[in-house]
Amino acid sequence: MASVSHHLDVPESQPESSLSGNMYRWVSTVDHKRLGLLYAMAALLFFVIGGTQATLMRMQLAVPNNHLISPAMYNRLFTMHGTTMVFLVGMPLLAGFANYLVPLMIGARDMAFPRLNAFGFWVFLFGGLLLYYSYIGGGALYGSGSAPDVGWFANAPLTENAFSRGTSTDYWSLGILVSGLGSVASAINVIATVFSMRCPGMTLARMPIFVWLMLVDSWMILIALPPLSAAQIMLTLDRHVGARFFDTQAGGSALLWQHFFWIFGHPEVYILIFPAFGTVSEVIPVFSRKPIFGRQAVVAAAVAIGFISTSVWAHHMFAVGLSSVTNTFFAASTLLIAIPTGIKVFNWIATMYGGKLRFEVPMLFCCAFLFQFVVAGLTGVMLGVAPFNFQLHDSYFVVGHFHFTLVGGFIFGMFAGIYYWFPKATGRMLGQQAGRWHFWLFCIGFNLTFLPMHVMGFLGMPRRIYTYAPGRGWEVWNMMASIGVAFQIVGLLFFFYNVIRSLRSGPLAGDDPWDAWTLEWSTTSPPPEYNFETIPVVRSSRPLWDLKHPNDPDWRYG
Amino acid sequence: MAYTASPPLDATTAATEWKPPDRGTVGIASFIVAETALFAIFVAAYLFYLGKSLNGPYPRDVLTVPVTATICLLSSSGTIVMAERALQRHQTGPFRLWWMLTTALAAIFLVMTGMEWWKLIRHDHLTVSTNCFGSTYYGLVGLHASHVIVGLFFLTLVLLVSFRGFPITTQERRIKLLSWYWHFVDAVWVVVFTVVYVIGR
Amino acid sequence: MAPAILSLLQIGLLQAALLQGTAAKSGERRITNIFEPFATPAAAERDIGLFVMLITAAIFVAVCALLISTMIRFRRKPEDDERQEPPQVYGSNQIEIAWTFIPLLIIFVLIGVTARVIAVVQGANPGPAPVRARIIGHQWWFEVQFPELGVATANEIHVPVAGSSGPATMFQLESVDVIHSFWVPQLAGKLDMVPNRANTLWIDPTEPGTYLGNCAEYCGTQHANMLLRVTVEPKDEFLAWAAAQKASINVNTQDVEGRQVFESLSCVNCHAVRGTPANGKFGPDLTHVGSRQTIASGMIPNTPQNLRAWVNDAQEMKPGVLMPNMKLTKQELDSVVSYLVSLK
Ligand code: HEA
Ligand code: HEA
Ligand code: CUA
Ligand SMILES: [Cu+2]
């Protein structure tokens, strides 16, 4: 790695440390790193809220015929839990990681459109608050405040005026519409940044895999999110000006909503898993001390997943009574996705093979990710086999499947990322010991919660039920699942404790604590506002390796 | 994997040869992709409900092909190109003229859409809530019209700014991005026109 | 973890078998294990299910073995030289090709099998002259009609044993409000009940007994208590049941006083009792409500006490239910309940 002398005039930042001054700097910031952290902090806050909702649901379901929570409240809980976790935890975590890391990894000083970036964050936050305002303002029957209770995919016609009076569904629709705007804005920004802001020598072929995945991810967002927005606009027209898009009482179609939603919804789940894929693709090589195995294959597989994922949506609709030809087509395309995904999994394992594995906390999360994601993917394959899906659809098996992908995959991947990049963002290391406690408790709790759900599904337990009668063989499994949550909570408390303690007194990290190879580790921790004092020039996909091994640089190969 | 013995690039040549694409262009292109996805869903809804309305009025009874409006809108794509050319040659006068024409054509299109809606609502009693045709028609055409309104707003803004003596020639890049957007709005109209007035009748 | 799932499953099956024994007396199978099917669709789904589980379990074992052995073999050992990096391997095209094509082959097999079973389940012929029923979803109960037999009832479906002794049953699934789903795990996988649309599903149950099911598509507040039960019985019993359900009540011999009270209340706006002026269509048909095993869509056993509690305040028993608290006086309640009990 060399560097071009694009020197910056750095204004000496005034050491203004008053609280209001600090607040003002965060609120008015257009710096991609601060926005990235804002996104991540908002996501963690919503994660605690969504997790609390989940905890309440698990308490209700721990025993049969429980009267802890009323049916109406339970229905709001799972709707808000699902919506929160997907739109207010998943999307902002993704945006946070992308914002923080993409410019650093490609040697840029900021995103392409810093102000659009800030706009994206505040719009997202506003959408989230709008959704949560429904708890206060969403007058349901009898004028009592209430949150939406239509499920996270809000099937029509349950969302139509006839069945969902009051305004709670409008909060769902508009809150997500608005926060979706933020996601599209940040996707445009990532794409423009990746194409236009790379430092000299950073060809597409040399880009870190994380950046590649964020690029593909942003494309998917561009294509997948507007259909949801369109459907939400239609729903709002239905509810407020009497349009009939999904109004089955007046000739509208109930299935059209499902098609529109899942045209968004399926790519969305890959949108969510990609940041985890990206993180794993950065962490595993560093902790195996080897370059990623089959770079091109990993990238090509991501692009393939992006393409295939746009044509599998109806696998969420196998049970609605589509023709057998349609079902066969969608089953086939669904199963095909296993191949590029498998390529990725195998390449990660091959990267570890022959390396010198250091099982530090980020790597632990990556290993758990691998096991859990393979389970999740294979249960996905089981669901993709349409005739089996007729049984499994809308049962707890599905709940098990998608928590394995979303928690076992996405959340574990993101924890790997947090442990890995926290030193870069804050200058301090997260505690190893507390990190291990967090990992093991969360891992055990996670499996204890979500493995039994597969069995509940086999035993015919439908999802989204607020209670169930005793004697159907579901009690043990539900109890196990609920106990698991306790482990998860303790694990997560270790995490929060670790973060707070390390922010104050964690050991100093230095520029490059993991002995890593991508550009973000070449600047200080935390990076200065302008990221790089001089714009770097790179000649391979591992610029810091080249620097550290002048006798055997990467650019000599391939 | 083969060993290559290429001599190292020196930093400055790498830097001078390095010409990534303009971020504005990439940004607007991405934006257009997202917009296309948005329109695609409204088009799909329109096509899905073709012939499925339970009660009238039906498209063939009430829709007339908006020839003049279409001509106006499509030719505005031409005039905006002329305006851009003028700008490239730093000719402020012709730029203003072409730009004014573009704005006027856009305004005419919008007025004609308004008149069509007026007729449909007043005379044919077709509103969003009449039937599925009404919902999807106003949804799709309305979405397009709202884009024309946004476009018109920016066109007017540029016009005002340029008449106020702002050095518009410095804004060539932004004008280009705006014209991309405008071409997109036109292209969408071609699709809307085909779907609503050709296939849909 | 797939082996873990499988072993959990085995425990589950064992437990299921135990509970089955205790419940079998009443003929009610309370464990709705999808791997224990009693009709062709469910059996086909079980078979393909076991097939893909076998394949996925094998893949899981292979991947895990690879992963675990890698983790153990290549972990950094204390004696390793800190500064010595392992050989830098960038990839291998042969290996990439191998792990693209082997999974591709597996997937092709899966696609082929899937296509065939879809045809079996969705396209198959239920045999000559099936019994036809219309099942109509309502917010939180199932309306049941056998148009050819003149039967109208709710939530409890009787069907004949199929096979050599009787015909299969064909369900036409509809909905009057939102989307529901018809799922009796041991007879057939689920099929949604979509407004403005009729889906069809057939079953050919072989074993008499009562099979539990439930609505499997979230449909509002009381989705959890939208249960249903299918009673499979020999053909003659089924026909006897249908004949009894078809008959209107005998207005003169029924509890006359109770009937008059009932008809004076607004119950009749929502409920029908055939042969009387009560002809509401919003709630379940009550003509033979006394003959049902459960009320409130399978939620509670049909006993006089429960009926009384239900009519007194349905909201208390099933919060959010679309039947209001009718605020009956004690006398009204007594008469109405004794009338309902008499509607056998
Ligand atoms: C991060 C999110 C995520 C991811 C990555 C996935 C990945 C997959 N999902 Fe999942 N899914 C969800 C999130 C996700 N899903 C959610 C949220 C829902 C429910 C929504 C709701 O209803 O609320 C859902 C629901 C869902 C359904 C509908 C269930 C139903 O409601 O009936 C189906 C059906 O086909 C499905 C299939 C798949 C498949 C085939 C994959 C594949 O991509 C998996 C591919 C991976 C592997 C297969 C493992 C690795 C591969 C190998 C080791 C190679 C060898 C393997 C073979 C040859 C098979 N998913
Ligand atoms: C990213 C997505 C995501 C994540 C992370 C989770 C996490 C969890 N989910 Fe969720 N879930 C969904 C996405 C997700 N879920 C979706 C999309 C649905 C479908 C909704 C629908 O049907 O519409 C769903 C539905 C769903 C159901 C089914 C409801 C039903 O069908 O009736 C259940 C039931 O057990 C459940 C449980 C859990 C649990 C126990 C966790 C746990 O892992 C949560 C762990 C987190 C915490 C416990 C909170 C954090 C920490 C603290 C409380 C510590 C204290 C705080 C401080 C010190 C500040 N989820
Ligand atoms: Cu009906 Cu759920
Ligand atoms: Cu999907």
A467 pLDDT tier (thresholds 50, 70, 90): very high
C137 domain-assigned: yes
From the CA of A552, how many Å to the nearest CA of chain C? 10
Chain A nearest-CA distance from C100, in A, is 6
> Alpha-carbon distance A421 to C310, whole Å?
59
Q: Using the predicted structure, report yes or no on whether residue C15 has a pLDDT greater than 90.
A: no
Q: Does the distance separating the beta carbons of A243 and B139 come in below 8 Å?
A: yes
The answer to whether A491 touches A439, Cβ cutoff 8 Å, is yes
Residue the block writes with tokens 């859990």: A372
Q: Residue A253's closest chain B neighbor by CA?
A: B49
Q: Ligand 2 test: best mutation among A77, A264, A269, A399, most atoms within 8 Å of CB?
A: A399
Candidates C60, C89, C297, C321, partner chain A, best to mutate (most A CBs within 10 A): C89
**Tell me, what's the pLDDT at A142?**
55
- Please answer yes or no on whether A244 and B138 come within 8 Å at the CB atom: no
What does the pLDDT average to over A435-452?
Answer: 97
Q: Is the predicted pLDDT of residue A3 greater than 60, yes or no?
A: no
Using a CB-CB cut-off of 8 Å, the residues of chain C touching A332 are 111, 114-115
Q: Domain boundary residue among C234, C264, C282?
A: C234
Question: What is the predicted pLDDT for the residue at B181?
Answer: 95
Judge whether residue B108 has pLDDT over 80. yes
C135 and C218 share a domain?
yes
Average pLDDT over residues A216-239: 95
pLDDT-based confidence at residue C25 (cuts at 50, 70, 90): very low
User: Considering CB atoms only, which of A254, A381, A473 is closest to C179?
Assistant: A254
Interface test mutation site (partner A, options B10, B13, B18, max chain A beta carbons within 10 A): B18
Report the pLDDT value the prediction gives residue B3, as an integer from 0 to 100: 33
Residue range(s) defining the domain that contains residue C216: 131-234
- Residue A144: pLDDT band (50, 70, 90) is low
The residue behind tokens 């208390």 is: C316
How much is the pLDDT for A5? 47
C145, C230: one domain: yes
Q: Which tens digit of pLDDT belongs to each residue from A281-296? A: 999 999 999 999 999 9
Helix (H, G, I), strand (E, B) or coil at C87: coil
Kindly state the tokens that stand for A294: 């089959």
Beta bridge partners of C138: C141
The interface predicted TM-score of the complex, written ipTM, equals 0.93
Mean pLDDT of A411-426: 96
Q: Cα separation of A239 and A230, whole Å?
A: 14
Domain co-membership, C170 together with C222: yes
A473 with C15: Cβ contact below 8 A? yes
Task: Using DSSP, state whether C210 is helix, strand or coil.
Answer: strand
Reported confidence tier of residue B48, pLDDT bands at 50, 70, 90: very high
A369 burial via Cβ count (<10 Å: 0-12, 13-18, 19+)? buried
* C50 inside domain: no
**Angle between helix C2-23 and A432-458 (nearest 10):** 40
Claim to verify: residue C219 and residue C291 sit in the same structural domain: no
pLDDT score of A191: 96
Q: What residue owns the CA closest to ligand 1's atom 54?
A: A342
Mean residue pLDDT of chain C comes to 88
C25 belongs to a structural domain = no
pLDDT at A534: 87
Put simply, the answer to whether C88 touches A290 (Cβ < 8 Å) is yes
pLDDT interval class at B25 (50, 70, 90): very high
How does residue B6 score in pLDDT terms, banded at 50, 70 and 90?
A: very low
State whether A459 and C32 contact (CB < 8 Å): yes
- Residue B20: pLDDT over 90: no
Q: Which of B1, B26, B144, B188 to mutate to test the interface with A (most CBs of A within 10 A)?
A: B26
Instruction: Using the predicted structure, report yes or no on whether residue A311 has a pLDDT greater than 70.
Output: yes
Interface touch A468/C224, C-beta < 8 Å = yes
Helix, strand or coil, per DSSP, at residue C291: helix
Q: Which amino acid is at C327?
A: K
Domain boundaries in chain A? 29-548
A334/A84 Cα distance (integer angstroms): 26
Least confident of A67-81, A305-319, C76-90, C222-236: C76-90
Say which residue the tokens 């609120």 belong to. A27
Q: Averaged over B134-144, what is the pLDDT? A: 95
Same domain (yes/no): C267, C215: no
Across C53-62, C241-250, C281-290, least confident range: C241-250
Mean pLDDT calculated for residue range A157-168? 89
Query: What top-level class would CATH report for the domain A29-548?
Result: mainly alpha
pLDDT attached to residue B52: 84
For the residues C290-296, what does the mean pLDDT come to?
Answer: 92
Query: Do both C228 and C139 map to the same domain?
Result: yes
Stretch A444-450: mean pLDDT: 97
- What domains can be seen in chain B, in order of their start residue? 24-199 (1.20.120.80)
> pLDDT band for position A16 (50/70/90)?
low
DSSP letters spanning A2-33:
EEE------PPPP----HHHHHHHHHT---HH
Question: Is there a cis peptide before residue A553, judged by omega within 30 degrees of 0?
Answer: no
pTM of the predicted model as reported, rounded to 2 decimal places: 0.94
Region C155-183 average pLDDT: 92
Predicted confidence band at A17 (pLDDT cuts at 50, 70, 90)? low
Q: What tens digit of pLDDT does each residue of C100-130 get?
A: 999 999 999 999 999 999 988 887 777 788 8
Instruction: Answer whether residue A244 shows pLDDT above 80.
Output: yes
The fraction of chain C above a pLDDT of 90, given in percent, is 69
Q: Does the structure show a pLDDT above 60 at A321?
A: yes
**Closest residue CA from atom 1 of ligand 3:** C180
Q: Are both C335 and C282 inside the same structural domain?
A: yes
Residue B169 has pLDDT above 50, yes or no: yes
Q: How many independent structural domains does chain C possess?
A: 2
Are C185 and C271 within one domain?
Answer: no
More confident residue, C80 or A377: A377
- Which of A222, A256, A539 comes nearest B37 by C-beta? A222
pLDDT reported for residue C121: 83
Expressed in angstroms and rounded, the spacing between residue A88 Cα and the centre of ligand 2 is: 13
Atom in ligand 3 nearest the alpha carbon of residue C223:
2
Pocket of ligand 2 (CB under 6 A): A 48, 51-52, 54-55, 57-58, 78-79, 81-82, 85-86, 89-90, 151-152, 399, 403, 406-407, 410-411, 449, 463-464, 485, 488-489, 492-493, 496
- Residue A554 binned pLDDT confidence (cut-offs 50, 70, 90): confident
Residue C153 CB coordination number (10 Å): 24
* Residues of chain B contacting residue A196, judged by C-beta atoms under 8 Å apart: 20-23, 26
CB pair distance less than 8 Å for B41 and A537: no
Confidence check: pLDDT of C6 > 70: no
Q: What burial class does residue A114 get, using C-beta atoms within 10 Å of its C-beta: 0-12 exposed, 13-18 middle, 19+ buried?
A: middle
Chain C residues within an 8 Å CB radius of A326: none
**Domain end: C234, C262, C289, which one?**
C234
Q: What is the dihedral of CA B101, B104, B110, B116, to 10 degrees?
A: -100
Chains in contact with C, where contact requires at least 3 CB pairs less than 8 Å apart: A
Identify the closest residue of chain A to C80 by CA–CA distance: A356
Q: Smallest CA–CA separation between A183 and chain B, in Å?
A: 11
Instruction: Check pLDDT > 60 for residue C17.
Output: no
Q: Which of residues 509-538 of A touch B (CB under 8 A)?
A: 535, 537
pLDDT for the residue numbered A143? 52
Dist. CA A59 → ligand 3 center (Å): 23
Window from A2-11, A247-256, A529-538, C240-249 with minimum mean pLDDT:
A2-11
Which mutation among A373, A392, A398 tests ligand 1's pocket best, with the greatest number of atoms within 8 A of CB?
A398
pLDDT recorded at residue C87: 86
Mean pLDDT for all residues in chain A? 92
**Confidence (pLDDT) at C16:** 52
Q: Give the tens place of pLDDT for each residue, C66-103.
A: 999 999 999 988 877 777 888 888 888 899 999 999 99
Residue A141: the pLDDT is 55
Q: Is the dihedral of CA B76, B80, B82, B83 positive or negative?
A: positive
CATH of the domain at C274: 2.60.40.420
* Model pLDDT, residue A140: 56
Tell me the average pLDDT across B26-35. Answer: 95
Of the ranges A177-191, B117-131, C84-98, which is most confident?
Answer: A177-191
**Per-residue pLDDT at A13:** 52
